[in-house]
Amino acid sequence: MPSSSNAEARAGRGGRRVLNASFVGLLPYVWLLVFFLIPFLIVLKISLSTAFYGQPPYEPVLDLAEGVGATWEKVKTLSLGNYTFLASDSLYVEAYLSSLKIAAIATVLTLLCGFPIAHAMARAPRGWRPLLIALVIMPFWTSFLIRVYAWVGILKREGLLNAVLLELGAIGEPLTILNTNFAVIVGIVYAYLPFMILPLYAALERQDPALLEAASDLGSPPWLAFWQVTVRLSVPGIVAGSLLVFIPAVGEFVIPNLLGGSNTLMIGQTLWNEFFLNHDWPLSSAVAVVLLVILVVPITLFQRYQAREVE
Amino acid sequence: MSALASPAMTGAPLGDSAAEPIAKRAAEPLIRFDHVRKTFGGVVAVADLSLDIEEGEFFALLGPSGCGKTTLMRMLAGFETPTSGDIRLAGKSLAGVPAHKRPTNMMFQSYALFPHLSVWDNIAFGLRREGLNAAAIRARVDDMLSLVQLTAQARRKPHQLSGGQRQRVALARSLAKEPRVLLLDEPLAALDKKLRGETQFELTAIQRRLGITFVIVTHDQDEAMVLADRIAVMREGGIEQVGTPAEIYEAPVSRAVASFIGEINLIEGTVAHADARETALDAPALGTRVVASPAGAARAGEAGCLAIRPEKVAMRRVNGHSDGPNTLTGTVSDAAFMGEDTLYRVRLETGHLIKTRRSNTRDGGTIRLGDRVVLNWDPADAVFLER
């Protein structure tokens, strides 16, 4: 303990405090550099390489020990060939489009399920709210894989859902739900719901209930007041929640793999196949880079929106 | 059965219905609370309350927190429904009329300005629901902006305004639709003292100019006194007293009203005698008999209380023998300098403290702590309270 109190004493004199503050400010950038930018550059480099039967399964392998000149010769052999291949083969284009479509539908459905839940939580008695939040987070205590796998038991032909519907007489014969895109969407909605509820709850909880009364006092019927005030003021929460669901859902691998069928085309699976079955590291790296670029677009839009909102 | 009876039964009301609405309109005030009661899960917020508010009045509902004043106002606005009883506006029952269809507008305590809308759009919000054309809305909003002197801030968002400016936006927004009644929920509570003083005069000026009925809810007695034409003092879900500020101050009907409004001396005792001219009270705390002269309905032997305002108690230094009704001697125990006057507390021989107020003019002579003084008051200035 004496050392820490010494540090405090010195910090009190000035100098060090400034240093500490700038280090704390740098920390996120260091983190991004080490865990995002450097890995990304490695993936980008591999995506420009050519597949090769060997270890590692691509070439060229850059090694500065060979000297700058030799390395530069190797750099010159890098090409955009993998990207032109991705653009020319409709399989990849379709996989991207299908992923975006499934993720978009699932995001809208997650929003429609999440909004009433978050709204009810925000209007619940203050004492209940921590418990309700804990209940929303509770599923994370169980393995993601197991929770998604459990849906197989619910959705399969002889599964729980079909049994209940048959028993109720709602259907004459079992529905085929498992191994369809619909099952994938159900899985995404279920798995990502907490990511939608929490930002929505944060946005709804801090709204002054008097705002809703003010709208109706000024002549808006309840449904319109809800739209003008409650929904309008939770737009930042809606955008944040939708991005938190949409972005990982586009690249989702586990859910389409367990619940999807042979017709389900998602880019996460395509990437997995290229990497583990074809051992084509460069091509799968290109798939990953393109996916990242596609996803950067909504993130940028979101940040522009947020900046405008603050102003 | 009822089908058979109805033609005969409608005959009678039809006969005098032609005359009745006119008579009713003349007799009925703008707002009438008729035996209104409101409970929240067994807790009584408003208990069987009846109250009339006249057209064009600046009316204050005054009381401590939890007295039911806010609930009363929220029932008028349509945010709460009375458990029983009826609220009528211009002779028509408001029962079943939702908030968005009532000709009342409210200025909220938190102001409740829409944070995503500019000052201009906040004020235009209610007008857009009235189906006015764009030019009419623009003219009306600009009028309101100049009324509250915020024309230059029209494009700002609420968070870019000072507290006083926000308060004026809230006022302009609630006045924009020209309501029959404007409800103000603690409108000045969030302002600092100096700004509050200025805003009070602005509010009364605006109310006189527009002639709209203002109903204000406040726990601040000074605010109610300065602003209102009439005040209803509320306590525990009921009304203690309704009257002009002067009536409430000079002639409180109960200990609760007397002690809630301003400083007052309450002297407990037993009625010695009472007649049409005066009520005399034996006060053990003073060791003497005190007299109030406004006629009361008290009877000898009853317990009661004499109330006298500090500024009505004259104080001078003892010189020679003092006698007469309501004359007490004591020593100055402490003094609170208030600026324009000083509030003294004088300890009597019995130990009881009497408050007296002296203006800080030059001719008063100096009185110091510990001085022996004589106090007395005119019986006409004292009030006898049974409650």
Q: What is the rounded average pLDDT for all residues in chain A? A: 88
Residue type, B69: K
Q: Min CA distance, B177 vs chain A (Å)?
A: 8
**Residue B342 is part of which domain span?**
264-385
| pLDDT cut 90: percent of chain A above it | 66
Q: Among A206, A218, A227, A231, which would you mutate to test the B interface (most chain B Cβ atoms within 10 Å of its Cβ)?
A: A218
A202-255: pLDDT as tens digits: 999 999 999 999 999 999 999 999 999 999 999 989 999 999 999 999 999 999
Averaged over A31-39, what is the pLDDT? 92
| B11-31 mean pLDDT | 52
- Other CB atoms closer than 10 Å to residue A88's CB: what's the count? 9
Beta-carbon separation of B99 and A217 below 8 A: yes
B190 part of a folded domain: yes
Residue of A nearest to B78 (CA): A217
Per-residue pLDDT at B151: 93
Q: Which residues of chain B have a CB within 8 Å of the CB of A211? A: 112, 114
| B20 within some domain | no
B329 neighbors B318 (Cβ within 8 angstroms): yes
Are B218 and B352 found together in one domain? no
Which residue range is the domain that position A303 belongs to?
A: 81-310
**A217 contact partners, CB below 8 Å, separation of at least 6:** B77, B78, B99, B100, B104, B105, B106, B126, B174
Q: For B77-124, what is each residue's pLDDT tens digit?
A: 999 999 999 999 998 999 989 999 999 999 999 999 999 999 999 999
Cβ distance B106 to A214 less than 8 Å, yes or no, reads yes
Each residue of B26-58: pLDDT tens digit?
A: 568 899 999 999 999 889 999 999 999 999 999
Question: What one-character DSSP code corresponds to residue B299?
Answer: -
ipTM over 0.85: no
User: Three-state SS across A41-89?
Assistant: HHHHHHHCCEECCCCCCEECCCCHHHCHHHHHHHHCCCCCHHHHHHHHC
Domain boundary among B198, B225, B250: B250
Q: Which of B220, B250, B280 is the last residue of a domain?
A: B250
Task: Identify the top-confidence range among A122-126, A295-299, B253-257, B334-338.
Answer: A122-126
In chain A, what residues touch B98 (CB-CB under 8 Å)? 216, 221-222
Of B250, B274, B293, the last residue of a domain is B250
- The answer to whether residue B374 is domain-embedded is yes
Number of domains in chain B: 2
Task: Kindly report the CATH number assigned to the domain that includes residue B53.
Answer: 3.40.50.300
Q: Which sign, positive or negative, has the C-alpha torsion A215, A220, A225, A229?
A: negative
Residue B135 has pLDDT above 60, yes or no: yes
The per-residue pLDDT for B22 is 44
- If you search the block for the tokens 């809308």, which residue do you land on? B117
B279 and B201 together in one domain: no
**CA-to-CA distance for A167 and B150, rounded, in angstroms?**
67
Please indicate, yes or no, if residue B258 is contained in any of the structural domains: no
Give the per-residue pLDDT at B321.
Answer: 65
Within this chain, do residues B124 and B231 fall inside the same structural domain, yes or no? Answer: yes
Flag the least confident range among A174-183, B158-167, B279-288.
B279-288
- For B335-354, what is each residue's pLDDT tens digit? 888 888 888 888 888 888 88
Segment B240-284, tens digit of pLDDT: 999 999 988 888 888 888 888 888 888 888 887 777 777 877 777
How far apart (Å, rounded) are the C-alpha atoms in residues B124 and B184? 19
A297: in domain: yes
Could you tell me if B208 and B113 lie in one domain? yes
Residues B207 and B307 in one domain: no
Is B310 domain-assigned? Answer: yes
Average pLDDT over residues B181-189: 91
Distance from the A201 Cα atom to the nearest Cα atom in chain B, whole angstroms: 18
Q: Please report the DSSP string for B77-110 in residue order.
A: HTSS--SEEEEEETTEE-TT--GGGSSEEEE-TT
Give the one of B110, B116, B125 whose C-beta lies nearest to A218's C-beta: B125
From chain B, the residues in CB contact with A233 under 8 A are 115-116
Query: SS3 of B375, please?
Result: strand
Identify the pLDDT of residue B27: 66
Report the mean per-residue pLDDT for chain B.
84
